[in-house]
Amino acid sequence: MNERANLLLELADDELILGWRDSEWTGIAPFLEEDVAFSSIAQNEIGHARALYELAARDLGTDADSLAFDRAPEDYRCTPLVELRRLEWARTIARHWLYETADAIRLEALKASGDPEVAGLAAKMDREEIYHRMHAEMWVERLLATDEGRGRLEEAVHELWPYALGVLDDGLRPGFEAIVRERLPFELPDVEPVPRGRHEVELEGLLEEMTMVRRSAPAGAQW
Amino acid sequence: MQLTEQRVWEALAEIPDPEIPVISVVDLGVVKDVAVKGLRVRIEFTPTFMGCPALETMRSQMEERIRELGAEAQVEVVMDDSWSTDRITPEGREKLREAGFAPPAPRAAGAPTLVQLQSKAFRCPYCGSTETRLDNIFGPTPCRSVRYCESCRQPFEQFKTI
């Protein structure tokens, strides 16, 4: 597989799996505004995944749905941070903020890519991602404003920190680490990143659920 | 009668946005370019929000409208950075406002910021007051936020600037 297809699949898998996790708040978020927010964010992320898969599919001679739904679990290239299933608010916000912070750095690098298709798509995605970042930042601010919120956020970020460090490659990671340490008012340890390619146990359950309709109607489901 | 680009633009201007039917796909700025060669029409379509389910409908309606003109459409989706809310026409913005959707703020000053969204720079489409506050960055569709007007005490939908 060429380098570009590989990069596109990493990005697409991150956005698809995180979009799926975000959608798990639909109907059960702590209040209505967040129900709407996470559903909308999920819709955006899955929209990004689709465009990325379409571009990768052209390079690989297949189609977007096959890439999204028909691969074996071990062939997904997403970062383990997005696979985690944590239906707990502080962890959801911590992951959201850590991912969006890393993603912003990655998009900035891709916007400067010499490949006009990749650069164009990254710039288009970034227009929407700005709103995800604002939402995440607003919540970090809100949690840091009280002792209880701060304590919960700190605990959640500590738990997710090795995962967060695994989102970006060695070249981009130091920039990410510096931004996080600068923004958060608590110490974070020096730890090894959880690498891409490793998978969390809960990915399997997600894929099982996500591909259920497609597997049950191989000829194509009609609505 | 020979099919002209002008005629194609006019035909496309009759296609309503599937979710906000007060404005057309041309008002929305998603038609980037039209080229006519005999009875073949090539349309460059630059989508709005990438996860918007209305995009497929727009695309098939454009194809159908061109078929009605006796020609064949080739709609090319351009997934680059060419669409922004600044592409919505002045007429489109006015139609949005009349329908109760606050049109997007111009992007001129660069990317939007949280400070901006939390400021009083947004005008209520019902009473015109700028005494409005951000209620939710996200709304019923990807393109909208929800604001509340302190003056006429009415929640309203604000188009996101992207």
> Are the beta carbons of B50 and A120 closer than 8 angstroms?
no
Q: Does A22 touch chain B (CB under 8 A)?
A: no
Q: What is the pLDDT of residue B1?
A: 66
Chain A, window 90-119: residues with a beta carbon less than 8 angstroms from a chain B beta carbon: 116-117
C-alpha to C-alpha distances, A184 to A151, A153, A177, B6, nearest whole angstrom: 12, 10, 11, 56
Q: For residue A211, give both structure tokens.
A: 């591909």
Chain A residues near residue B85 by CB distance under 8 angstroms = none
Residues of chain B contacting residue A123, judged by C-beta atoms under 8 Å apart: 80-81
- Chain A residues with beta carbon closer than 8 angstroms to that of B119: none
Given a contact cutoff of 8 angstroms between Cβ atoms, the answer to whether B144 and B161 are in contact is no
**A221 pLDDT higher than 90:** no
A35 close to B (CB below 8 A): no
The CATH number, out of the four listed (1.20.1260.10, 3.40.50.180, 2.60.40.180, 3.40.50.1820), of the domain defined by the range A3-216:
1.20.1260.10
Radius of gyration of chain B, Cα coordinates, nearest whole angstrom: 17
Q: At what angle do helices B5-12 and B54-68 cross, to 10 degrees?
A: 130
DSSP output for B134-145: EEES--SSTTEE
Q: For the segment B114-156, what is each residue's pLDDT rounded down to a tens digit?
A: 888 888 889 999 999 999 999 999 999 999 999 999 999 999 9
Cβ–Cβ under 8 Å, residues B120 and B131: yes
Which CATH code is given to the segment(s) B101-159? 2.20.25
Residue A116 and residue B80: Cβ atoms within 8 Å?
yes
> What count of CB pairs under 8 Å joins A to B?
81
Q: Is the ipTM of this complex over 0.90?
A: yes
d(CA A130, CA A139): 14
Taking 90 as the threshold, does the pLDDT of residue B78 lie above it?
A: yes
Average of per-residue pLDDT values in chain B: 93
Q: How far apart are CA A151 and CA A118, in angstroms?
A: 40
- Whether A109 and A134 have beta carbons less than 8 Å apart is answered as no
Region B47-62: mean pLDDT is 92
Instruction: Tell me how close the Cα of A193 comes to any Cα of chain B, in angstroms.
Output: 31
As a whole number of angstroms, the distance between CA A202 and CA B153 comes to 45
Tens-place pLDDT, residues A32-86: 999 999 999 999 999 999 999 999 999 999 999 999 999 999 999 999 999 999 8
Amino acid, single-letter form, for residue B72: E
Q: What is the CATH number of domain B5-77?
A: 3.30.300.130
> Can you read off the two tokens belonging to residue A7?
């990069």
What residue segments make up the domains of chain B, in order of their start? 5-77, 101-159
- Does A33 contact chain B (CB < 8 Å)? yes
